[in-house]
Chain A
Amino acid sequence: MTAPVRPGASTPRSFSFPATVEHRLSNGLRVLCAPLRRLPAATIVFTANAGAEQEEASSAGVASLAAQSLAEGTLRLGANELVTAFESLGGELGSGADWTHAECGVTILTPQLEAAMRLLGETVREPALPGDGVVRLRQERLSELLQQEAEPRGQADDAFSVACVGMGTRDGLPLGGDKLTVAKCTPELVRSFHRAHYVPDGARLVVTGDVSPDEVFRLAESVYGGWHGTAVQGTAATPAAAPPSGGVQVMDRADAPQSELRIGHVSVARTHPDFYALSIANAILGGLFNSRINMNLREAHGYTYGAFSSFDWRRHTSVWSVSTAVKSEVTVAAAQEVLNEIARFRQEPVKADELSLARDYLVGVFPLRFETTAAIGGAIAAREGFGLSADYYDTYRERMSAVTIDDVHRVARTHWRPELLQIVAVGNAAEIREPLTSLLERTK
Chain B
Amino acid sequence: MHLPLTHHTLPNGLRVTISEDHTAPVVAVNLWYHVGSANERQGRTGFAHLFEHMLFQGSEHVGANEHFELVQRAGGTLNGSTWLDRTNYYETVPSHQLALALWLEADRMGRLLPAMTQEKLDNQRDVVKNERRWSVDNQPYGTWWERLPALSFPSEHPYHHSLIGSFEDLDAASLDDVSEFFATWYTPDNAVLSIVGDVETAEALRLVTEYFGAIPRGKNRPALPPMSVPARFGEWRREVVHDEVMVPRLFLASRCPVFGTAAAAVGTITAAVLGSGKGSRLQERLVRGQQVASSAVAFTFDLSRGSDLFVLDVTAHAEVSAEALEGAVVAELDRLRTDGVTEAEVQRAVTLTATEYVTSMQSVQSRADRLSQFATHVGDAAAINTQVDRWRAVRAEDVTAFAREWLGPDNRASLLYVPREVAEVA
Contact = CB atoms under 8 A, between A and B. Distances in A.
Interface stretch (A56-64, A226-234, A300-308, A312-320): A300-308
Contacts of A83: 277-279, 283
The 6 closest A-B pairs by CB, nearest first: A364-B75, A302-B126, A90-B355, A7-B99, A13-B25, A83-B278
A426 to B, nearest CB: 9
Contacts of A11: 96
Contacts of B352: 87, 90-92
B279 A147 contact: no
Interface residues of B, number: 81
Contacts of B294: 139-140, 143-144
A372 interface: yes
B140 A147 contact: yes
B106 A4 contact: yes
Interface stretch (A27-35, A236-244, A355-363): A355-363
Interface string B115-157: 0000000111111111101110111100000000000000000
Contacts of A368: 26, 75-77, 92, 94
Interface of A: 1, 3-4, 6-15, 37-39, 41, 71, 79-80, 83-84, 86-93, 107-109, 133, 136, 139-140, 142-144, 146-147, 149-153, 256-258, 260, 288-290, 295, 298-300, 302-305, 325-327, 356-357, 360-361, 363-368, 371-374
A305 B140 contact: no
Nearest to A39: B362
B76 A364 contact: yes
B246 interface: yes
Identify whether the interface residues of B are mostly helix, strand, loop, or mixed: helix
B288 A79 contact: yes
A12 B284 contact: no
Contacts of A303: 126, 130
B138 A15 contact: no
B107 interface: yes
A325 B134 contact: yes
Q: Which of B75, B110, B210 has the most CB of A within 10 A?
A: B75
Contact of A80 (B69, B210, B244, B284): B284
A91 B355 contact: yes
13 contacts: A6-B61, A39-B359, A83-B278, A87-B277, A133-B288, A150-B246, A151-B139, A152-B138, A152-B139, A289-B72, A298-B127, A302-B127, A368-B76
B26 A367 contact: yes
A71 B75 contact: no
A366 B25 CA distance: 11
B42 interface: no
Nearest to B130: A305
Contact of A366 (B75, B139, B214, B348): B75
Given A86-B279, A299-B64, A361-B73, A257 B140 contact: no
Contacts of A13: 25, 94-96, 198
Interface centre among A8, A152, A256, A305 (most CB of B within 10 A): A305
Question: At the interface, is chain A mostly helix, strand, loop or mixed?
Answer: mixed
A153 B214 CA distance: 47
Given A140-B317, A305-B131, A365-B77, A38 B23 contact: yes
Contact of B348 (A84, A142, A356): A84
A371 B138 contact: no
A386 B198 CA distance: 33
A365 B355 contact: no
A80 B279 contact: yes
A153 B359 CA distance: 31
B364 A4 contact: no
B233 interface: no
B202 interface: no
Given A88-B348, A367-B26, 10 more contacts: A7-B207, A12-B96, A90-B356, A153-B139, A325-B130, A327-B130, A365-B72, A368-B26, A371-B364, A373-B359
Contacts of A7: 99-100, 103, 207
A260 B138 CA distance: 9
Interface string B260-281: 0000000000000000011100
B68 interface: yes
A139 B291 contact: yes
Contacts of B362: 38-39, 41, 371-373
